[in-house]
A and B are shown apart, each in its own frame.
Chain A
Amino acid sequence: MAKTIFITGATSGFGKLWAEALLKRGDNVAATSRRANAFTALSEKYGDQFLPLQLDITDREAVVATVNKAKEHFGQLDVVINNAGYGVFGAVEEVGEKVARDVFDANLFGTLWVTQAALPILRAQGHGHIIQLSSVLGVWSLPTLGIYNATKFAVEGLSEALASEVKDFGIHVTLIEPNGYKTEFGGSSAVFGDSLDVYNPLRESLGKIEGLGPDDYGTPEATVPAILKLIDSENPPLRLFLGKLGYVKTERVYGEKLQQWKEWKNVSEAAHG
C-alpha cells in the first residue's frame, strides 16, 4: 500500500532525491521548502500524489499548521523525515552567536518542532515512523565542525530518548547517520565562521583526516535503496549509517573511549563515595 511521507528541506540534496524516489514508486509525499514555488516540476509531474508546502521550520507555529495541513490533505502521515538542516564550518572559537543560534534553530529546534507537531497525529493513528537526518558527526566529531557536531549530537540524544517514550504507541524512530556525501553540504548550503589566522594550519590539514578524503564522500543517489528499505521495514533500526565509513570508525571511536574510561576507572569509582 502507498505510504504518506512528510519530508522537510526537499529542494536539494538527500531530500530532493528521496522525495522523487518515493513519488516515482507511488507513495504520497508532502514536501517543504523555505522558498515559494520551489516544487513546480514535481507538482506538474505527480499531481495529487504530491503536496508542495512552503515552510520555515524554525517557526514553531507555522510547523504545526503545515504538518496538520499535510495530514488533512492525505488523511494520514506514515513517515516524517526531518531532513532540513545545514553545516557550519569554522573552529568553535570562530563561530559567532548568530551563526551558532541559527544552525541550532534549524538542525535541532526545527527537528523538534516538526516531531512535536507530528506526534499527536502518529499517536492517534497508532503507528508512524519519525526519521531524523543525523550524521556520523552526531556520533563522533571533526575539527572545524564543532557547532554542527553539537547540533547533530543533540538530535541523537533527543531522538534516542524520544524513541523510548513512544515505542508503546507503535511509533518508530530512526536516526540516519550519513558519512560525507557529494551534496551541497560543504558548498552552497554551507555557512562559515569568521577566520582567525591561528586556525589556518588546522584548516589546511583537514583533507588528510579520515572522513574528509576524496574517496570518503558517498554518491547521494546510492542512498535511495537504503531509505526505501528503511521506510518499508516492519521493525526499523534506531540508527542507520549511510556510507562505508560509519560503522568502522564508530567501532574504533567507541573502543578508544571505553579504553580511556577504563584507564581512569579507579578514579571514576572513587567519585561515587
Chain B
Amino acid sequence: MSKIVFITGASKGFGKVWAEALLKRGDKVAASARNISALADLKSAYGDSILEVKLDVNSREDVFSVVKKIKDNFGRIDVVINNAGFGLFGTTEETSEQQARDQMETNFFGSLWVAQAVLPIMREQKSGHIIQVSSFLGLTTLPLLGLYNASKFAVEGLIETIGSETAHLGIKTTLIEPNGFATDWAGASAVQTSSEITDYNPVRAAFAESGDNPDTWGKPEATVEPVLNIIDSENPPKRILFGRIAYQVINDVYTKRLEDVQNWKQVSIAAHGH
C-alpha cells in the first residue's frame, strides 16, 4: 500500500532526492519548502501524488495549519521527515544573538513544531513514523560548528524522548545521522558568522584543511535505498548513521568519553553522598 509522507525542506538536498524517490515508486508526498517554485518539476511529473506547500517551519502556527491541510488532502499521515535545516559556521564567540537564535529556530524548534503537530494525528491513527534528520554532529562535535552541534544534539534528545513517550501509542521514531554529504550544506546553504577575532584564525585554518578530502563526503543519491528501507521497515532503528565515516568516528568518541569520565569516577560517586 502506498504511504503518505510529509517532508520538510524538500526543495533541495536530501529532501528533494527522497521526495522524488518516494513519488517515483508510487507513494504520496506532501513536500514543504520556503520556496515551492523549486518543486515545480516534481509537480508536473507527479500531479496529485504531490502536495507542495509553502512553509517556514519557524512559525508554529503555520506548521500546524499546513499539517492539517496535508491530513485533509491525503486523509492520513504515515511518515514525517523533519529534514529542513542548515549549518551555521563560525566560532561560538563570534556568533551573533540573531545567528544563534536562527540556527535553533530552524533546526530545533522547527522540528519540535512539526512533531507536535503530527503527534495528535498519529495517536489517532495509532500508527506513524517520525524520521528526524540529525547528523553525526548531533553525537560528536567540530570546532566552528558549536551552534549547529547544539541544534543537532538538541534534536537527538528531543526525538529520543518522543520515542520513549509514544512507542506504546504505535508511533515510531528514527534519527538519521549522516556524516558529511555532497549536498550544498557546506556551500550555498551555509551561513557564516563574523570572523573578526584573529585569535581564531588557526582554528579556522585547521577546520578548512580538515574538510578538504572529498572521499569523506557521501553521495546524496546513495541515501535513497536506505531511506526507503527505514520507511518500509516493520521495526525501524531508533537511530541510524548514514555514511562510511560515521560509525568509526562515533565508536572512538564514545570510547574516549568513557575513558575520560572513568578517570574522575571516584569523585563522581563520592558526590552522590550515600
List the interface of chain A (C-beta within 8 A of B).
60, 91-93, 97, 100-101, 104, 108-109, 112-113, 115-116, 119-120, 123, 137-138, 140-147, 149-158, 160-162, 164-166, 168-169, 178-179, 198-199, 202, 215, 218-223, 225-226, 229-230, 237-247, 250-251, 254, 257-258, 260-265, 267-273
Contact = CB atoms under 8 A, between A and B. Distances in A.
Contacts of A145: 161
B149 interface: yes
A56 to B, nearest CB: 15
B271 A264 contact: no
Contact of B271 (A113, A150, A158, A222): A222
Contacts of A251: 258
B150 A218 contact: no
B30 to A, nearest CB: 20
B48 interface: no
A239 B100 contact: no
Contact of B261 (A100, A220, A250, A269): A250
Nearest to B222: A273
A157 B141 contact: yes
A272 B269 contact: no
B257 interface: yes
A226 B268 contact: yes
A215 B274 CA distance: 9
A260 to B, nearest CB: 5
Contacts of B257: 239, 254
Interface stretch (B32-40, B75-83, B246-254): B246-254
B109 A100 contact: yes
B156 A199 contact: no
B15 interface: no
Chain B's interface size range is 35 or more
Contacts of A202: 165, 168
Contacts of A222: 270-274
A272 B120 contact: no
B150 A165 contact: no
Given A147-B158, A161-B149, A229-B267, A271 B92 contact: no
Contacts of B230: 267
B6 interface: no
Given A152-B157, A161-B141, A221-B273, A115 B247 contact: no
Interface string B148-172: 0111111111101110110011000
Interface string B238-262: 1111111111001100100110111
Contacts of A162: 92, 146
B246 to A, nearest CB: 7
Contacts of B268: 226, 240-244, 246-247
Contacts of A258: 250-251, 254
B122 to A, nearest CB: 10
Contacts of A221: 273
A218 B261 CA distance: 18
B241 to A, nearest CB: 4
Given A267-B226, A271-B222, A272-B242, A154 B271 contact: no
B203 A165 contact: yes
B238 A138 contact: no
B116 A161 contact: no
Nearest to B202: A168
B101 interface: yes
A162 B174 CA distance: 28
A149 B158 contact: yes
Given A141-B157, A258-B254, A219 B150 contact: no
A219 B272 contact: yes
Contacts of A157: 137-138, 141, 146, 149-154
Given A141-B161, A161-B149, A116 B265 contact: no
Given A147-B158, A153-B156, A268 B240 contact: yes
A267 B119 contact: no
13 contacts: A93-B165, A97-B60, A104-B108, A116-B95, A153-B154, A158-B150, A158-B153, A165-B146, A219-B274, A247-B265, A269-B243, A269-B247, A271-B223
Given A243-B272, A268-B226, A150 B108 contact: yes
B184 interface: no
Contact of A160 (B141, B160, B239): B141
